[in-house]
Amino acid sequence: MTISITNRARLAFAILVVLLLVATAIWYYRTSGRFTTYQILTDDPVSGLIAGAPVEFHGVDVGRVTRVELTGPRSIRILLDVNKDAPVSRATVATVTSRGLATRGFTGYVYILLDNTGTEQGPLTAAPGARYAQIPSAPSRSVSLDTAISQVNKNVQVLTELVRSILDDKTIASFRHTVGNLQQVSHMLAENQQRLSAIIANTEQASGRLGPLLDRGSDTMQALQQVSHMLTTNQQEFHSIITNTAQASDRLVPLLDSSSDTINAMQLQVLPEAYRTMAELNKLTNSMNHFTDKINRDPSILVRGSAAPPLGPGETK
């Protein structure tokens, strides 16, 4: 009786195991038919990403992460099962994203975000020799509070160092000196407020007188425009006058040259001869005057000629 009960228990256990195996096989084949496995290769750190993490496509849950493993010192491979209904294509890009107050714990979690942000078109297929199709990855994105606080802390430290490097003792002394000068300027302006008011009033009066001056300037400009218009209208006549003047000046040069030669000839040849002729005429005139005086004194000279002068003492013929 005891052996019979033992055999029944073993048989029942074997049947239960077989049923579990059948159920597992059925579940596996059913689930494997609903999902497609993809892989992601990235060099970015994936802190907080674990198996079972959700996979979202444009914000909608479409699968789960099945494995996260190291393939090198700085390379990571991520396997994920995605519903076959998800529109995964060559344009799909995967981003490891953290959300919440922290990258670990119940207050935050890390997941895979899929989105069609690429430029290629067509279905995504596995490369030759590869087991799974690879989804291109984008740089990791963290929107958790702890990373934001860490980044803010770094920015504050950088700003503090910058302020320390700028606000040294010399700069602070310069600021103090500048503030002192500004106080002096403001005090001077306050003391000379009445003069400044007078200057402003005089400026207003001068600006009021500037209008008629500008009007006169406008009239002058109009007159200049009229003169310019007249010159433009008579441009051809002015051009003709300038041309004739240029031609006359060209002809005047030879005339001046010939006149210069004539003057030189008169100075070198004619004037000396004229001077000699005048000298001869002067001598002839003197001789005529002398002869006339002799005739006036002795008219007989015209009949008997001029007699020889008497012999002097001791002279003989």
Q: What is the pLDDT along the chain (317 residues), one digit of tens a residue?
A: 455 677 777 788 888 888 888 888 777 666 656 888 999 999 888 888 889 899 999 889 999 999 999 988 889 999 999 998 888 988 999 998 877 655 444 445 788 999 988 777 888 888 888 889 999 988 877 655 556 666 777 888 888 888 777 777 777 778 788 888 888 888 888 888 887 787 887 777 776 766 665 666 566 677 667 767 777 777 777 677 777 776 766 665 665 566 666 666 666 766 677 667 777 777 777 777 776 777 777 666 655 666 556 666 766 65
- Asked if the structure places residue 118 within a domain, the reply is yes
User: CA-CA distance, 49 to 144, in Å (whole number)?
Assistant: 14
Domain that holds residue 91: 32-142
- DSSP string of 163-175? HHHHS-HHHHHHH
Amino acid letter at 155?
Answer: N
Q: What is the pLDDT of residue 107?
A: 47
Token pair of 267, please? 């100075």
Read off the pTM.
0.40
Cβ-contact 115, 92 below 8 angstroms: yes
Q: Is residue 50 part of a domain?
A: yes
Which tokens in the block code for residue 186?
């403001």
Q: Would you state the structure tokens that stand for residue 250, as one six-digit string?
A: 């060209």
Does residue 103 form part of some domain?
yes
Tally the domains of the chain. Answer: 1
Tell me whether residue 292 is in a domain.
no
Q: Are 76 and 114 in contact (CB under 8 A)?
A: no
Q: How far is Cα 108 from Cα 145, in angstroms, rounded to an integer?
A: 9
Domain for residue 102, yes or no? Answer: yes
With respect to residue 111, please indicate whether it lies within any of the assigned structural domains.
yes
Across the strands, what pairs with 41? 77
Amino acid sitting at position 119: T
- Is residue 278 included in any domain, yes or no? no
What pLDDT score was predicted for residue 253?
60
72 in any annotated domain: yes
Query: Rounded to an integer, what distance in angstroms lies between the CA atom of residue 200 and that of residue 275?
Result: 87
